[in-house]
Amino acid sequence: MAQAPRRSGPRAAASWAHRGGSALGAGALAASAFAACVLAGGVVARAEDEPALARLRAAEAARVAMIARVAPAVAAVFQGKVAGEGGGSGVIVDPAGYVLTNFHVSGLARDLTVGLSDGEAYPARLLGIDPGGDIALLKLAPRPGGWPFVAFGDSDAARPGDPVLAMGNPFLLAEDFSPTVTQGVISGVHRYRDASGSSDLVYGDSLQIDASINPGNSGGPLFDAQGRLLGINGLGGFRPDRGRVNVGVGFAASSAQIENFLLDLRAGRQCQHGTMNATVRDVERGEGRGSELVVDAITRDARAFKAGLRLGDRVRRMDGVDVTTQNQLLTRVSRLPAGRRVRLEVDRPREDGAGLVRVALGFRLDPLWSGPPSGAWAPDAALVAAELAAVLAAHRARLAAPEAGRAGPGPEGPAWAEEAVWAAPGRASERRVRRFDRGRLRVESGPVDAPTVEVWDGKRGWRLAPNGTRAPLAPARRDELAGTAEALAALAEPGGEGRLTSLELTGGDRVGGRLVARLEARDKAGRRRLLYLDAETHALVGLAWPRDDGAWVEEAWVAAPGAGPGGLAVERLDHESGELLERAAEIRLEVGPQDPALFEESP
């Protein structure tokens, strides 16, 4: 939305300009048409109608074709192994058979039935739930050729007035599962609908629509004019005096929100939405002067408090975007899963009372607990294992492709070398070369002619000073190199997970600006690593490890236009706050086996 007004600027300007140019011509035409009308009555208007009618018919035909294209991916969803009573709607979002629906449709039913417009009912299993956001992810068994599916659209680009189509199975009208289509417009964007009454459902970042949403539409897709998924319809406005039918006020969880949760759902989790554990108030600046957003309560064990957020702080920006009202902050926070890192900029009253001082702080969101009590949900172990296997297979297939390493943003694969110049605030920059080959890791720091060399050869680690003295690696440093080497080797090599005690898909995150899958590795010495794979490309884009003081460091490869070869940079951040620890912008990457002698103790 930040771009919407900007986008409309040039277009609007062009429209005004055009008007000036066409007005004269139109006036002349209008005069002659007026004469024709007087002579021939209204009938003459029919000829003039044709181009407009043709456009209308073309738009209609395009809409009908679009509906035909997406309808096979729209599902009727029932709890249990037969298509019975109750139930709602859903939509397939991936050829592998992932079905999105509402949590209030799936409940905690392990087995569900998905009816498609081919008239067939297919068994599905419940993979992950997001009770707060009212979303559930179901999985169909793989089938040859894949399942019909629809692509995600950009709900953040939706504007009030945009045409939308809701599809689903209202009142379970369709015996053959062919979806019902209702048409409308976007009524509002970024609506926050609080949990109300007995409902836990928080529509944190939702689209308001006037397309008819009736009982049974729940869980069904909301499409834009191109047939891309904008959201999952779930909350209807119903009025007792009109019966439980549509009154033109419906809400759909936005696709932008759902995408943030998709990997947590695939990981089989009961997702929790994020909260700052603080409340903010719109405080009037004065009559007619608008309001500002003031922190008026915060719990002392909140991560936001630990990061430095305080009572009286005026929230100005979140993640680089201005926020001026409670609603903006609520929608932006609640559309993120718990544990997601955010960055706030606040203005704080100075101690001496002389104005405000700008403070930036970063922290990860606390969970806003909702849904069934802890323990009621347990993921289906076989399904989650299959998800991990699918992610690993996709990553390794990518490594096996001929362009591996060139397309990927970071060093990846069974062997590579990376040379970079690292800089940190208040420190001279330092050249470092990292070489990795099948579980062995060598780091050279300092000048080319007199580097300090640290090596982990898979069993032992040593350090070679520029003056030639050799010593075993300090335990903390040895664990750092060994843990990374083991995790990277396990990730890259087919069957490599056998090197580890455990490797799990634990959800999603945002690293280096990308949505990623988070894998948690624990090697046989108990060392833990987080490995981040791009959600789309499955490329390795980052990893994280614990320092000896317990704080975690996150290393992320980020796209940085103008940052040198490949437009890449590597950043090391504090995992909790996102504070930049050090950064390398000039990177040279080489993929391929390294000289074995480099990892040997006696060259």
Q: Binders of another protein among 77-96, rule CB under 8 A? A: none
* Residue 515 within binding range of another protein, rule CB under 8 A: no
Interaction between residue 298 and another protein (CB under 8 A):
yes
- At closest approach, how far in Å is the CB of 41 from another protein? 10
Task: Name the residue nearer to another protein (CB basis): 45 or 397.
Answer: 45
Please select the residue that binds another protein; options are 189, 342, 365, 516, rule is CB under 8 A.
189
Binding another protein (rule: CB under 8 A), the pick from 45, 283, 389, 401 is 45
Q: Report how far apart, in Å, the C-alpha atoms of 315 and of each of 289, 357, 429 are.
A: 17, 12, 35
Q: What is the Cα 298 distance to its own chain's centre?
A: 27
**178 binding another protein? (CB under 8 A):** no
SS3 readout for 205-264: EEEEECCCCCCCCCCCEEECCCCCEEEEEEEEEECHHHCCCEEEEEEEEEHHHHHHHHHH
Going by C-alpha positions, the residue among 151, 328, 294, 124 that lies closest to residue 224 is 151
Residue 18 falls in the annotated catalytic set:
no
**Which candidate in 89, 94, 104, 523 is catalytic?**
104
Query: Of 85, 197, 240, 287, which lies in the binding site for another protein, with binding defined by CB under 8 A?
Result: 287
Dihedral (CA of 61, 64, 66, 68) sign: negative
Q: Which string of x and - marks every residue 452-491 that binds another protein (by CB under 8 A)?
A: ----------------------------------------
Contact code string over 207-236 relative to another protein, x by CB under 8 A? -x-x--------------------------
Q: Which is nearer to another protein, 4 or 394 (CB)?
A: 4
Which of 491, 503, 495, 532 lies closest to 515 in space, CA to CA?
532
Does the annotation mark 190 as catalytic? no
Verify binding: residue 33, another protein, rule CB under 8 A. Answer: yes
Which positions from 47 through 76 interact with another protein, judged by CB under 8 A?
48-49, 51-52, 55-56, 59
Burial 196-213 (b: 16+ CB within 10 A, else e): eeeebbbbbbbbbbbbbb
Q: Which helix (H) or strand (E) holds 333?
A: helix 326-334
Cα 234 to Cα 154, 311, 362, distances in angstroms = 18, 36, 33
326 touches another protein (CB under 8 A): yes
34 binds another protein (CB under 8 A): yes
Binders of another protein: how many residues, by CB under 8 A? 80
The only residue of 104, 139, 193, 442 in contact with another protein, by rule CB under 8 A? 193
- SS3 at position 3: coil
* CA 165 to each of CA 208, 223, 227, 233, 388: distance values in angstroms, whole numbers, following the listed order: 12, 5, 8, 10, 34
| Binding residues for another protein restricted to 341-380, rule: CB under 8 A | 353
**Catalytic position from the list 134, 264, 437, 534:** 134
Q: How far is the CB of 496 from another protein (least distance, A)?
A: 40
Write the interaction track for another protein spanning residues 257-276; mark x where CB under 8 A is met and - where it is not. --------------------
| Residue of the chain from 240, 288, 495, 526 that contacts another protein (CB under 8 A) | 288
Q: Does 591 bind another protein (CB under 8 A)?
A: no
Contact status, residue 143 vs residue 157, Cβ threshold 8 Å: no
Residues 419-438 that bind another protein (CB under 8 A): none
Collect all residues with Cβ–Cβ distance below 8 Å to 511 and sequence separation of at least 6. 532, 541, 542, 554, 556
Is residue 159 a contact partner of residue 186, using CB atoms and an 8 Å limit?
Answer: yes
159 near another protein, rule: CB under 8 A: yes
For another protein, the binding residues in 13-32 under the rule CB under 8 A are: 13, 15-16, 18-19, 22, 25-26, 29-30
Q: How far is the CB of 356 from another protein (least distance, A)?
A: 17
Give the active site residue among 89, 187, 206, 218. 218
Q: Is 171 among the residues that bind another protein (CB under 8 A)?
A: no
Extract the runs of DSSP E, i.e. beta strands, from 398-499. Answer: 415-424, 427-437, 440-445, 452-456, 461-464, 470-472
502 - beta bridge partners?
522
Could you tell me the end-to-end alpha-carbon distance of the chain, in angstroms, rounded to an integer? 60
Binding another protein (rule: CB under 8 A), the pick from 80, 95, 148, 188 is 188
- In angstroms, the CA 350 to CA 342 distance is 24
Instruction: Based on the shown chain and the rule CB under 8 A, indicate whether residue 197 belongs to the binding site for another protein.
Output: no
Instruction: Look up residue 119 and give its DSSP letter.
Output: S
Residue with tokens 């008239």: 119
Q: Is 104 a catalytic residue?
A: yes
Select from 104, 139, 190, 432 the one that contacts another protein (CB under 8 A): 190
Q: Least distance to another protein from the beta carbon of 239, Å?
A: 7
- The distance of closest approach from Cβ of residue 524 to another protein in the complex, given in angstroms and rounded to an integer, is 45
- Tell me which residues are annotated as active site: 104, 134, 218
